A and B are shown apart, each in its own frame.
Chain A
Amino acid sequence: MLTTRSAYLFLAPSLALYLLFVGLPILQVFGFSFFDWDNGIAGDFIGLANYQRLLGDGVFWVALWHNAIWVVLTLAFPLLAGLVIAAILAERNANVVRWLAAIYFIPRTIPLVVAGIIWGWIYNPIFGLLNFGLEAIGLGGLGGAWLAQEDTALLSLNVVGAWTFFGFCVIIYLAAIQSIDPALYEAASIDGASWWRKFRDLTVPLLRGSTLFLGLYAAIEAMRFFDLVWVTTQGGPGYATEVLTTHIYKTFFLVGDFGYAATLSVVLLIIVLSISAGAFALLRKP
């Protein structure tokens, strides 16, 4: 491999952009969090006082809890769906695979803002398709104002999140399955293994790497998603769908509390960086 200092010239443009618009703001946010702010002007250095405020901020803990629920739900549902679908598709002919994978991925191409609007209608208590469908099969009693009730809002939104994510899981798992040696499956078939046995004893363990990758991806997305909540519920009703990003947005743009918004940003950064550090450690292990 060539050793050369002109490598820095190759790095310079992307590094400059990255440091100026991502690196610098991260350092600033850290700095901001140690000051008292008044109308966008830094006042006294107050040490960790903003961090102490976190302890008594109920909305922060509720938001964090919602992010945690979102992480678990995303790990459970879209990943599992993607794995099962990919395992089924692995044994179908190439044209079927190509078309179905494309169809499953279509929701991911739709901007979350638009996804939120579409699903907002499906969940609408007056004309929404969901209540209409439930009534049609005699379960009208289960219907409700899905996004406007505290007990169903977060779960209903998560269904939308999963809708945009499971197709991505299908594609990642499919690529990995297609790189597995088919002889392994043939050998299992000769031994008379059922589809389920092959799935459990071959596919799932062999796709461990992809599962870790998707798990990391899902967890990070679950910590940083914003658009979907903002266009549908803005964190409501009450604080039923409040997450860290909406809490930051409101604290900064609506309340104008720069120092505390920065503190929340630091917490969010520490969480995502810890998650990814942990996942990388796992990925390194054979």
Chain B
Amino acid sequence: MTKKTRLIQNLILLVFVLYALVPVYLVFLAAIRSEADLFSGPLTLSWPINFANFGRIWNEAGFATYFMNSVITAVSVTILVLLTAPLAGFAFAKLRFPGKEILFALFLAGLVVPAPSVIVALYGNLQAAGLIDNRIGVILPQAALLMPFSVFMMRTVMQDVPDELVEAAVMDGAGLLKIFLTIVVPVVKPGLMSLGLIVFLFAWQEYLLPLVVFQTETLKPLTVGAASLQGRYGVDYGGIAAAGLIAFAPLVVLFLAMQRSFVRGLTAGAVK
């Protein structure tokens, strides 16, 4: 490779590093600055770090509650998906039964269904079931919307389980559920981990469902809280930045800590 080629390549890599990180850095900067020097001064970190914005947002603007709500919703959706999708993935990967192709195609079609296109009917159904302004009214539809992706991914993961492993256990007379729990689950643990992380990420980021389902302030998650903060306190930039940081920092940390697992999940459906 010539020196010039290498230089151009490094330049491209650098430009995209800046594209990715500068907006994140700006929010961080705005969040730790006092109001007085928010728009003045250089774009370097000021010292000492000012945590006043976080304290104000956390305690007075209700972000402690929003945060807890995001945790509750995202964890519930993740558990629900982890309890259901792997079973279906196992059936599609390792079992034969009438109607298999049609049922799989049914899930496959769901991969592309936009949430806004079902909201018109879903909203009425939730209302009729008394689930508007109720956590269940977000958790169940959210898990359902993530189900096609999850089942699809689990099928891919389960295909890597050797058939002999399952067949040998059947010969020994073990029940299918027992085989699934004691033989299959231990083998696909990394895949389950990946699924859990990705579902958690998507559930935490969800905006439309909680926006239309929750009316009570104390039920709303961070995404809805941050968006409404922009309207209510339009000029409290330090506060909004702190709120934004609270809304995404856990995801960034989680991703950086579990990168390998995330990437395995993201590529599971794509490469095969």
Residues in A lying within 8 Å of B, measured CB to CB: 1-8, 10-11, 13-15, 17-18, 20-26, 28-29, 32, 40, 81, 84-85, 88-89, 91, 98, 100-107, 109-115, 117-122, 127, 129, 163, 166-168, 171-172, 175-176, 179, 194-196, 210, 213-214, 220, 223-224, 226-227, 230-231, 244-245, 248-249, 252-253, 258, 261-262, 265-266, 268-269, 272-273, 275-276
- Contact A171 B227, beta carbon cutoff 8 Å: no
Closest 4 CB pairs of A and B: A224-B114, A21-B144, A28-B121, A25-B121
- Contact B117 A265, beta carbon cutoff 8 Å: yes
- Contact B20 A106, beta carbon cutoff 8 Å: yes
B183 to chain A, nearest CB (A): 13
B91 to chain A, nearest CB (A): 4
Docked complex: B188-238 residues within 8 A CB-CB of A: 201, 204-205, 207-208, 212, 222-224, 226-227, 230, 237
Q: Is B187 an interface residue (CB 8 A)?
A: no
Residues in chain B near residue A176, CB distance under 8 A: 270-271
Residues in B lying within 8 Å of A, measured CB to CB: 1, 5, 9, 12-13, 16-17, 19-24, 26-27, 30, 39, 80, 83-85, 87-88, 90-92, 94-97, 100, 103, 106-107, 109-125, 140-141, 143-145, 147-148, 150-151, 163, 166-167, 170, 176, 180, 201, 204-205, 207-208, 212, 222-224, 226-227, 230, 237, 240, 244, 247-248, 251-252, 254-256, 259, 262-263, 266-267, 270-271
Given contacts A245-B114, A272-B112, contact A6 B122 (CB under 8 A): no
Residues in chain A near residue B122, CB distance under 8 A: 21, 25
Considering the chains assembled together, what is the distance between the CA atoms of A127 and B91 in angstroms?
Answer: 56
Residues in chain A near residue B224, CB distance under 8 A: 113
- The one of B118, B143, B230, B255 in contact with A29, judged by C-beta atoms closer than 8 angstroms, is B118
- Contact A110 B145, beta carbon cutoff 8 Å: no
A232 to chain B, nearest CB (A): 10
- Contact A7 B97, beta carbon cutoff 8 Å: yes
Task: Give 19 CB contacts A-B under 8 Å.
Answer: A6-B176, A10-B87, A13-B83, A14-B84, A14-B85, A14-B147, A22-B110, A22-B145, A26-B121, A85-B12, A100-B17, A106-B20, A166-B16, A196-B5, A223-B114, A224-B115, A231-B227, A245-B114, A265-B118
- Contact B205 A112, beta carbon cutoff 8 Å: yes
- Contact B96 A11, beta carbon cutoff 8 Å: no
- Contact B240 A220, beta carbon cutoff 8 Å: no
Residues in chain B near residue A119, CB distance under 8 A: 23
- The one of B20, B121, B267 in contact with A104, judged by C-beta atoms closer than 8 angstroms, is B20
- Contact A272 B267, beta carbon cutoff 8 Å: no
- Contact A179 B271, beta carbon cutoff 8 Å: yes
- Contact B144 A20, beta carbon cutoff 8 Å: yes
- Contact B97 A3, beta carbon cutoff 8 Å: yes
- Contact B113 A10, beta carbon cutoff 8 Å: no
Residues in chain B near residue A14, CB distance under 8 A: 84-85, 87-88, 147, 150-151
Considering the chains assembled together, what is the distance between the CA atoms of A53 and B21 in angstroms?
Answer: 45
Residues in chain A near residue B201, CB distance under 8 A: 109
Considering the chains assembled together, what is the distance between the CA atoms of A114 and B70 in angstroms?
Answer: 14
Q: Is the interface of B mostly helix, strand, loop or mixed?
A: helix
Considering the chains assembled together, what is the distance between the CA atoms of A19 and B223 in angstroms?
Answer: 27
- Contact A111 B116, beta carbon cutoff 8 Å: no
Closest to B118 in A: A25
- The one of B103, B163, B248, B256 in contact with A111, judged by C-beta atoms closer than 8 angstroms, is B248
A96 to chain B, nearest CB (A): 9
A177 to chain B, nearest CB (A): 11
- The one of A2, A8, A129, A248 in contact with B116, judged by C-beta atoms closer than 8 angstroms, is A248
- The one of B85, B112, B120, B262 in contact with A273, judged by C-beta atoms closer than 8 angstroms, is B112
Considering the chains assembled together, what is the distance between the CA atoms of A253 and B212 in angstroms?
Answer: 9
Considering the chains assembled together, what is the distance between the CA atoms of A106 and B23 in angstroms?
Answer: 11
Residues in chain A near residue B170, CB distance under 8 A: 2
- Contact B121 A111, beta carbon cutoff 8 Å: no
In this complex, which of B120, B170, B240 has the most chain A Cβ atoms within 10 angstroms of its Cβ?
A: B120
- The one of A10, A129, A196, A265 in contact with B26, judged by C-beta atoms closer than 8 angstroms, is A129
- The one of A5, A118, A168 in contact with B266, judged by C-beta atoms closer than 8 angstroms, is A168
